[in-house]
Amino acid sequence: MSDDDNSPISVRAAKLLFADLKHAPALVLAVSGGPDSVALMWLAARWRRSLKRGPRLTVVTVDHGLRVEAGREAREVKRLATELGLAHRTLRWRGAKPKTGLPAAAREARYRLLAQAARAAGASHVLTAHTRDDQAETLLMRMLRGSGLAGLSAMARLAERDDIVLARPLLDVPKSQLIATLKRAKIGFADDPTNRDTAFTRPRLRALLPLLAAEGGDARSLARLAGRVARANAAVEVLTDGAERFLRLTDRDDAPHGPGVRSFDGVAFASLPEEVRLRLLLRAINALGHEGPAELGKVETLLSVLDQALALGPRAAANGRPVLKQTLAGALISLAGGRIHIAPAPARRSQKGT
């Protein structure tokens, strides 16, 4: 960690962090009461004050109803928000809570509530306080899962979710700098013990970070790796766009098109790099399937089966009957007459046959 990593953030530096959000009509700040998001609120308030005209800021705290202290923490955020001249709302996650996968369900509910609050406030963006340390943890989690390039890109500074743009202005900032900023401003914050609860994956991985840092793999280098992967991922996405155009150009006039089906010439498809072929399949399956995003591993298996069938060449096209027919994530993928077809799979009949 460099000395800079422990220095408070100046108002001038804060202006740079938020500069691209200056023209938004309104912004929602997602503030749990922990150090990172309290620092986000404080920095955003200072930045807003430095502008003649700028976005309206609304602070939103989600009470997941999971810890008794949550209500008090939300009131503390409200007190500080009011002191800073910002509007504040507390939103509650109501209803039954799942017995397994609680962190993921809580996160889904939180983003849904934040998106609702943004729409109500006329805000174009929801700002979260993810830091460089969070970025490093996210990369580590995805590495352990064996994610593809998109997953290893970790979090983006701007991302769409639930029809709202999520902005993470502190993504390059180390958490230690946020704590130093609050310390200097004499602002307190809540300590959420769940962040250290080793029953959950993320806190266990968090505990590994100092060991990795001692080997030279600190949050800065992990976050840099995520940035480099994101750059490569964006390049492959552009190549895939180009490949889609190329496949359209190689289509015969009678090739099936339209919103309900995608179809690729097998020979042209086979000439493309494996990663691009994989993404073409993923895009088509996710666009036409009705069972949510396809798992990367399953699409990889499908591609290898498809590649083998395509390698048989003309024999694969014999008598026009499909040589491959498979459903995946609610899409039907078939190879017939030398063409790959992807269409929505027919709805499965219920077991009772009703």
Ligand X SMILES: Nc1ncnc2c1ncn2[C@@H]1O[C@H](COP(=O)(O)OP(=O)(O)OP(=O)(O)O)[C@@H](O)[C@H]1O
Annotated binding site for ATP: 32-37
Measured in whole angstroms, the distance separating CA 28 from the mean position of its chain's CA atoms is 18
Which listed range, 3-11, 57-65, 210-218, 286-294, lies at the site for ligand X (CB under 6 A)? Answer: 57-65
Q: Whose Cβ is closer to ligand X: residue 58's or residue 61's?
A: 61
Q: Which is nearer to ligand X, 63 or 251 (CB)?
A: 63
Three-state secondary structure along 221-284? Answer: HHHHHHHHHHHHHHHHHHHHHHHHHHHHHCCCCCCCCCCCCEEEEHHHHHCCCHHHHHHHHHHH
Binding of ligand X at residue 135 (CB under 6 A)?
Answer: no
Regarding 134 and contact with ligand X (CB under 6 A), the answer is yes
Rule CB under 6 A: say whether 129 interacts with ligand X: yes
Stretch that binds ligand X, among 94-102, 123-131, 301-309, 321-329 (CB under 6 A): 123-131
196 binds ligand X (CB under 6 A): no
* Cα 97 versus chain centre, distance: 23
CB 201 within 8 A of CB 138: no
Considering only 59-67, 221-229, 279-287, 328-336, which stretch makes contact with ligand X by CB under 6 A? 59-67
For residue 23, CA distances in Å to 20, 27, 143, 241 come to 7, 10, 37, 31
Judged by beta carbon, residue 116 or residue 250, the one nearer ligand X is 116
- Cβ 69 to ligand X, closest distance in Å? 12
Q: Binding to ligand X by residue 130, rule CB under 6 A?
A: yes
Supply the minimum distance, in Å, between the C-beta of residue 131 and ligand X.
Answer: 8
**Which residues are within 8 A (CB) of 310 and not within 5 positions of it... i.e. 6 or more apart?**
266, 267, 269, 270, 316, 335
Is residue 57 part of the contact set for ligand X (CB under 6 A)? no
Closest CA to 138 of 152, 159, 148, 157: 152
Residue 58 lies near ligand X (rule: CB under 6 A)? no
- The yes or no reply on residue 133 touching ligand X (CB under 6 A) is no
Q: Per CB under 6 A, does 62 bind ligand X? A: yes
The candidate with the shortest Cα–Cα distance to 61, out of 69, 51, 53, is 69
Q: Candidates 29-37, 178-186, 229-237, 301-309 — which segment interacts with ligand X by CB under 6 A?
A: 29-37
Q: Could you tell me which residues are beta bridge partners of residue 27?
A: 57, 125
CB 37 within 8 A of CB 29: yes
Is residue 107 a contact point for ligand X (CB under 6 A)? yes
When the beta carbons of 58 and 263 are compared against ligand X, the nearer one is 58
Q: Which is nearer to ligand X, 171 or 236 (CB)?
A: 171
The footprint of ligand X on this chain (CB under 6 A) covers a number of residues equal to 14
Helix 219-249 × helix 132-145 angle, to 10°:
60
**Among residues 17, 27, 32, 35, the one that binds ligand X under rule CB under 6 A:** 32
SS3 label, residue 82: helix
Which residues, in sequence order, are bridge partners of residue 165?
125, 160
Residue from the set 17, 30, 109, 115 that interacts with ligand X by CB under 6 A: 30
Consecutive H or E run containing 209: helix 201-214
Interface region with ligand X, contact rule CB under 6 A, candidates 20-28, 129-137, 174-182, 336-344: 129-137
Residue (of 111, 125, 108, 119) closest to 165 by Cα position: 125
Positions in the binding site for ligand X (CB under 6 A): 30-32, 36-37, 60-62, 107, 110, 128-130, 134
